[in-house]
Amino acid sequence: MQLLLIKLQSTCTPAQILPECAVVTNKQTTASFAEADWKELHAMASGKKVVVFIPSEDVLLTHVNIPSTNKKQLLQAVPYALEERLADDIESLHFAIHSEKESDLTRVAIINHQKMEHWLELLLQHAIHPHYILPNLYAISVKPDSWTLIRTENKSYLRQDKWTGFSCDNSLLSLFLEEELKNKEGIPEALYYYGDETHYPAELGDIERHLLSSSNEVHHDEVVDVLALNLLTGFSRGDSALFNFNWKPWLPAASLAALLGIIWLSMLAWKNHLLDNKLNNLEAEIVSVYQQTFPNSRIQNASVQMSQKLEALQKNTGTTGGSTLQTISIVSPFLKKFKDIQLREIRHQHDELLFVISAPNITRLEAFKNTLIKEGALKVEIKSSTTTANKVESTLVIKGVV
């Protein structure tokens, strides 16, 4: 496995943070951290698993004994098992866990959500997408049955074994060491130390001492061994409050809202269906009226052709007689009433509106004419008429409303 290791240090502002990096593989198992440019890191990340080490003071390492191998149950139980030992509200904390198969011991890494967000935001600003996030204590090499102590200008880092260790201000190191040395079974056979020899802790005087020439050496296998305690596991940016919120009391209201939404959408779909049917019926009626009014015309778009025909008639009407549209609208119902009367053509000629119609006989023609005069209040004259064996073709002049 090719690993790009990035180590971040605490500073006042993100702009002051200078990352250190190292690359280790199955073949090149040992490397040393060195300062690097963010752009250089972005290029180096291609094709590698990115492991980011953040300051150990931001992470609490501990363990609990819970007899369960179900990880989901452990994630639910661990926060409450540790609640009394934690200064922060458990709702504001993120817990990463790893269960050891050979025992009921569960390793736990705890970090505040806001601090985790801070480091992720910094990485995102520089286009770094980590696969693992660990405390930088795990970047310190440790040998079996020994401790490794790194003392810097202000802080000390003690790694006791694969999983445990701590960091603290130098002023508190003696206090922490006294507490750790109370457990006689946990006292190491040797201690590897890096730092100013004049500040070597007196509490460790009886333990075999080995001085390190560098504090930046890191080993591939030791990093791989602790990847299981990944702080990224189960962490979701920005929505921790949603996961911690108890939604159960709101489920009935949410279900009702969803049901009402479905009903509203169904009603809207049904209304659209009715409107579509009305539109189709209206289009069919326009076609029917156009065919009846202009029987010899070819239909391509009935509504547009009807508008054009009526507009032409309106322009030719001038000032004599009534409105062309008004006259046609009055005659139209009577054409429907007299089903045996067929309209052949409507045309405008010499300021007169002419209706060319076909009737079965003279009697029906006269009846239609008289009905238009009496019920329609129109002035109607028969301009011409042609009689055959079974019908009468006639041109009616309608000059307008009486």
pLDDT in tens, 223-277: 999 999 999 998 876 544 444 445 566 678 888 888 888 898 888 888 888 888 8
Query: Does 313 share its domain with 343?
Result: yes
pLDDT of residue 345: 83
Q: Residues 41, 134: one domain?
A: yes
pLDDT of 312 reads 61
Residue 390 lies in a domain: yes
Total tally of structural domains belonging to the chain = 3
Give CA separation, 162 vs 24, 74, 146, 296, in Å. Answer: 18, 21, 11, 97
User: Do 121 and 9 reside in the same domain of the chain?
Assistant: yes
CATH classification of the domain holding 129:
3.30.420.380
Domain that holds residue 135: 1-140+216-245
Residue 264 falls inside a structural domain? no
**CATH number of residue 393's parent domain:** 3.30.1360.100
Question: Which pLDDT band, with edges at 50, 70 and 90, does 294 fall under?
Answer: low
Are residues 127 and 146 located together in one domain of the fold? no
Is position 107 within any domain? yes
Domain membership flag for residue 282: no
Tens digits of per-residue pLDDT, 302-333? 666 666 666 665 555 444 444 677 788 788 88
**Residue 346 within any structural domain of the chain:** yes
Kindly state whether residue 21 falls inside one of the protein's structural domains.
Answer: yes
Domain boundary among 162, 196, 214: 214
- Residue 223 and residue 93 share a domain: yes
Whether residues 34 and 85 share a domain: the answer is yes
Percent of the chain with pLDDT over 70: 84
**What is the C-alpha to C-alpha distance for residues 74 and 67, in angstroms, rounded to an integer?**
9
Q: 372 in a domain, yes or no? A: yes
Angle, helix 324-337 to helix 251-293, in steps of 10 degrees = 90
Residues 135 and 145 in one domain: no
157 CB burial (10 A radius; 0-12, 13-18, 19+): buried
Co-location of 222 and 352 in the same domain: no
**Are 4 and 64 found together in one domain?**
yes
| 279 domain residue, yes or no | no
DSSP character string of 17-42: ---EEEEE-SSS-EEE-EE--HHHHH
Q: Are residues 337 and 197 in the same domain?
A: no
pLDDT the model gives residue 99: 87
130, 29: one domain: yes
Task: Give the residue from 197, 214, 231 where a domain finishes.
Answer: 214
Same domain, 104 and 133: yes
